[in-house]
Amino acid sequence: MDETLLLDGKAVARSMKEALEGTIKELKAKGITPKLTTILVGDNPSSHTYVKMKANACHKLGMESERLYLPEETTTEELLSQIKKLNEDEEVHGILLQHPVPKQIDERKAFDAISLAKDVDGVTSHGFGSTAFQLQAYPCCTPAAILEVIDFYNIDVEGKHAVVIGRSPILGKPVSMMLLNRNATVTISHSKTENLEAIVKQADIVVAAVGRPNFVKGDWLKKGAVVIDAGYNEGNIGDCEFESCEPVASAITPVPGGIGPVTIATLLRNTVYAAKEKLINPAHKYV
């Protein structure tokens, strides 16, 4: 029996970061250091951890990282004012609003206030539409990371049936469009989907992005399916039950160490590309 291929996200992320080193040096030689500003509203412990991880990743590559902390009671208008300032700051190349935000904030309005030129996390409606239509925009980082892993391991998606479990605007929906643009046949499933197990059983590629620990079981899978676990739940648990899925799959991402590291590397790459674009087109104004 063929051994299941472990899709090592750490190796993919390392390769991506190494590929950025030369560009960062070139930019610095011309007086530009790629800078990512992360906005964190409130005191969510997990969000604090994620922000710190992203900042550390920036510093290790020689990039600048700024963390903007806003209190839990921040209003939508106050957040929009901060985003506007960052949009106008020529030294900032990328803006990331850490999700989730407190319930009183209109998250979609805040996301869409980010300049498309600085939307390195790919969260704006304009960015989503541009990605879906294969126009220039920075793609959502986790969906792009999934495609990066697929490419790194030369997994063929053309003509294959991909079942995406989850329909969030920053994961399930964009990754579905990106797979469709690669000529996969895509089924988007979600919490209201009937006969989900039977649908997953048809999949050549399963993308789990539902946010429920150990949700996908091994007996749901078709033998030889590729399993991409984009979930991350408390206790370092993915959306797929690794112990039962791994023996059935032909390839599978672990949690942790799968899509997560590649997501951060994608964020860094988008920020570097944004800085490079600013160098190429210095008259460009962020709006």
Taking a C-beta distance cutoff of 8 angstroms, is the pair 173, 151 a contact?
no
Catalytic residue of the set 82, 98, 160, 278:
98
In sequence order, what DSSP letters do the residues of 231-266 get, joined into one string?
Answer: --BTTTB-SB-HHHHTTT-SEE--SSSSHHHHHHHH
Closest to 269 (Cα-Cα) out of 179, 138, 92, 176: 138
Residues 6 or more apart whose CB falls under 8 angstroms from that of 15 comprise 152
2 catalytic residue (yes or no): no
Taking a C-beta distance cutoff of 8 angstroms, is the pair 96, 142 a contact?
no
54 catalytic residue (yes or no): yes
Taking a C-beta distance cutoff of 8 angstroms, is the pair 177, 146 a contact?
no
User: Measured between alpha carbons, how far is residue 53 from residues 38, 56, 203 in Å?
Assistant: 11, 5, 34
Closest to 61 (Cα-Cα) out of 2, 116, 12, 14: 14
Q: What's the CA gap between 11 and 104, in Å, rounded?
A: 40
Token look-up 């030889």 returns: 224
Q: Which residues sit opposite 7 in a β-bridge?
A: none
Pairing label, strands 64-70, 161-165: unpaired
Catalytic residue of the set 8, 119, 121, 204:
121
Longest dimension (CA), the chain: 59
Coil vs helix vs strand at 276: helix
Catalytic residue of the set 17, 54, 118, 160:
54
Alpha helices in 31-121 (DSSP H): 45-60, 76-88, 107-113
201 catalytic residue (yes or no): no
Residue 216: DSSP 8-state: B
DSSP H/E element including 7:
none
State the catalytic residues. 54, 98, 121
